Structure 1
Amino acid sequence: MQRNNERFVERLPLVLDRPVYAYVFTALFCVGAMALRFAAKPLLPTGYPFVTFFPAVILASFLFGVRPGMFAAISCGMLSWYFFIPPYRDLVFNPAVAVAMLFYTGVVVIDITLIHFMQRANYNLAVERERSRALADNRELLFRELQHRVSNNLQVAAAMLGLQRRHIDHDAARRALDDASSRLALIGRISRALYDPSGAGNDMRAFLVMLTEDLLAASGREDVHISVSAPDGLMLDPNITMPLALVVAEAVSNAMEHGLPDTSGRIHVQLEQSGEGLSLEISDDGRGVASDFEIEAGPSLGLRIASALASQLGGRFALLPGPQQGAIARLDLPAACV
């Protein structure tokens, strides 16, 4: 409703198909103002000849512009002089009439002038708003095209690594290329889904659900169930969300590969926000890890990448044994990241 009112005001003064219609409506306003003044005459004390005519002038100027407003001002002035300034029905000019008409003229001139400048400013504002909207549309289009090209380039790089893998016989090198290819493809998918040209960020719960579903589909595992819990409406800057998403991807992949390699199980991703910052936990009910497990000393490159990403954000990443079974990958980020 408010937006409709804004659009109506931006179109003022109204440009009718035939300008004569504006003067016809203005004349009707003047006649209506005169009828209202006659009806209110018993209720008003002596004087106040212009009290109902001012709104007619303002309304005509507001709706139809300066010229119909001046027409309304002249018409209403003559009607009020003829019918409501003594001696009635006799256009006698004397000092009292001169003072009254001078007062009336000053008021209507100020009204018409203010309305005119207001409408000019409103028109310029509407033009600038339309220009800004066009620039925003172009910006969004260019941004999406850029993100599309970046994502495509990452996908191409991942495909090239996959092709290169076919020419390598060493198992460790093949696995390294597989890991690099999958990570590049994942970054491409995250980049395409994550960045918003408005810079407003993403709802983290919806984003984590989409990410974990994508990871589960890419793994081909149908015996693993992944659940997500996060505060409703939590929004983070993309510069924070990208490394956080990569940590989630590495932790979930590690849980499926090492915690649940050949058995069914559950993985739960939990994101919490507090005054101290953000805490992210990825827990599973798989084989678990030793109590003295250290990421840097372990064989997993993905966990070391997750630890490095956490350090870049000023946080800490750790892989801990679960309270009963399984493992918990925990990421703690400071309040500055929120």
Structure 2
Amino acid sequence: MALTDVRSLSRPIHLALVRTAHLRRLPLFQWSVAVAAFVVAFGLRYGLNDQLPVGFPYLTFFPAVILTTFFAGLYPGIAVAVASGLASWYFFIPPFHTFSLVGGAPLALAFYIAIVSVDIFLLHWMHLSVDRLGREREKAEGYARQRDLLFQELQHRVSNNLAVVSSMLSAQSRALEGEAGQAALVQASARIGLISKIQRQLHDPSRQSLDLAPYLRQLGPDLMEASGADHIAYAVNAEPLDVPAALAVPLGLIATELISNAIEHGFAHSRAGTLSVTLRQRGDGEVVLTVADDGPGWPEGYEAGRSRNLGMRIVLSLTQQIGGSFAFRNEAGAVSELRFRLPDPA
């Protein structure tokens, strides 16, 4: 019987086979079932002997063989089949109390042997199939555990390597002369550190998504601390939103660039103010991420597509990568707005 045949069994039978599999390996249970089944079957047949016409010697023994094989396994089933056949032959097939074969006795005995053989064979085949299915399930679970461990180790190593690269860039920036070079390396270090942080948050293979709301709440203070911008107030109004791993890194980088840009240009020269981040999902499923500051706003005639700023080029490139749209405007300061949609669940 193939595995698909076992799965096609009625659910109660399949569950019974699975739940009694460990009992069939206990000799005391096996032979206790066998003895009990034979005694009950013989007692019932003996008690019904006066009520039954001649020709039903195996009436109660067939269920005993089937139930014993089902619950106790192959050898107890065979033992009950043999004992039942001999008891029927001796007590209930004429001439009674003898093992002589006369008349239709050989045909009845042959019929009994054929029926119980088929029953035992089919039930044993079912047992083998269920046991094989159990072994394959255990093997699959072992492979899954091994995959998860390897995945976690890979994510851990990637995160550590990124953290090392970030630290090297940060150390190198301190050795450079000139603010432009230092700023470039600091920004590169921050971006790599961000990717490392997201990788750590996604190291669990059973949780291949990231809640963007708490991430945004922590991102601003981290960036302001790295920039020494303790003069800025940070406000977040974000709805809980789980984004898949494929979107987590690009969205994290976009948010980092927009917040960093606001810190650098909206609050230059230690200007105090408020930086606001909003995340909401509209009724049509579109997600809107807004970063706003109350600074001087975008320069007149500014075009993001022609900007030579690396951060803005990263924003535009990643926006295109996730199939979103980016816009900016002045509204009591600079406002940046990213719109995107979450992928449809598989």
TM-score (norm 2): 0.75
Distance 1:335 1:36, change over 3 A: same
How far is the alpha carbon of 1:87 from its aligned partner? 6.2
Q: Partners in 1 of 2:286 and 2:314 — Cα distance?
A: 19
Aligned with residue 312 of structure 1, among 312, 321, 342? 321
The amino acid that maps onto 1:208 is L
**Structure 2: distance between partners of 1:235 and 1:53:** 63
Q: Percent identity?
A: 33
Partners of 1:225 and 1:265 within 8 A in 2? yes
Deviation at 1:325, TM superposition (A): 7.0
After superposition, give the CA deviation of every residue in 1:97-149 in whole Å (9 maximum; x if it has no partner).
33333232222111211222222233333333333333332222222222111
Judge conservation of contact 1:268–1:283 (CA < 8 Å) in 2: yes
CA gap of 1:337–1:122, structure 2 versus 1, over 3 A, is closer
Once residues 151 and 29 of structure 1 are traced to their aligned partners in structure 2, the CA distance between those partners, rounded to angstroms, is: 63
In the alignment, the residues of structure 1 paired with residue 58 and residue 333 of structure 2 have an alpha-carbon distance, to the nearest angstrom, of 88
Matches within 5 A, 1:231-310: 236=244, 238-255=245-262, 258=265, 262-264=272-274, 266-271=276-281, 279-284=287-292, 286-287=294-295, 289=298, 293-298=302-307, 300-310=309-319
Identify if the C-alpha distance between structure 1 residues 256 and 240 changes in structure 2 by more than 3 Å, giving closer, same or farther.
same
What amino acid does structure 2 have at the position aligned with 1:125? L
Contact 2:274 2:293 in 1 (8 A): no
Evaluate the alpha carbon distance shift between residue 105 and residue 120 of structure 1 in structure 2; reply closer, same or farther with a 3 A threshold. same
> Is residue 219 of structure 2 the alignment partner of residue 215 of structure 1?
yes
Cα distance between partner residues in 1 of 2:37 and 2:187:
78
For residues 193-232 of structure 1, the aligned pairs below 5 Å read: 193-194=201-202, 196-197=204-205, 201-202=208-209, 204=210, 207-219=211-223, 220=225, 223-230=233-240
The structural deviation recorded for 1:71 is 0.0
TM-score (structure 1 length as normaliser)? 0.77
* Structure 1 gap ranges (5+): none
Cα offset for 1:68? 1.3
Q: Which amino acid in 2 is paired with 1:331?
A: R
Asked whether 1:112 is paired with 2:120, we answer yes
- Asked if the contact 1:320/1:327 (under 8 Å) is kept, the reply is yes
Partner residue of 2:174 out of 166, 177, 183: 166
Q: Distance in 2 between matches of 1:201 and 1:51?
A: 60
In 1, Cα distance between the equivalents of 2:243 and 2:340?
Answer: 17
CA drift of 1:55 comes to: 3.1
One-letter amino acid matched to 1:209: A
Query: What is the Cα deviation at residue 172 of structure 1?
Result: 1.9
Tell me how many residue pairs correspond in the alignment: 324
Distance 1:6 1:209 in 2: 48
Alpha-carbon distance between aligned partners in 2 of 1:197 and 1:267, rounded to the nearest angstrom: 29
RMSD, matched Cα = 3.9
Q: Which runs of 5+ in 2 are unaligned?
A: 1-11
Q: Distance in 2 between matches of 1:107 and 1:235?
A: 61
- Alpha-carbon distance change, 239 to 109 in structure 1, aligned in 2, over 3 angstroms: same
Q: Which residue of 2 aligns with 1:134?
A: 142
Q: What is the distance in 2 between the residues matched to 1:269 and 1:41?
A: 83
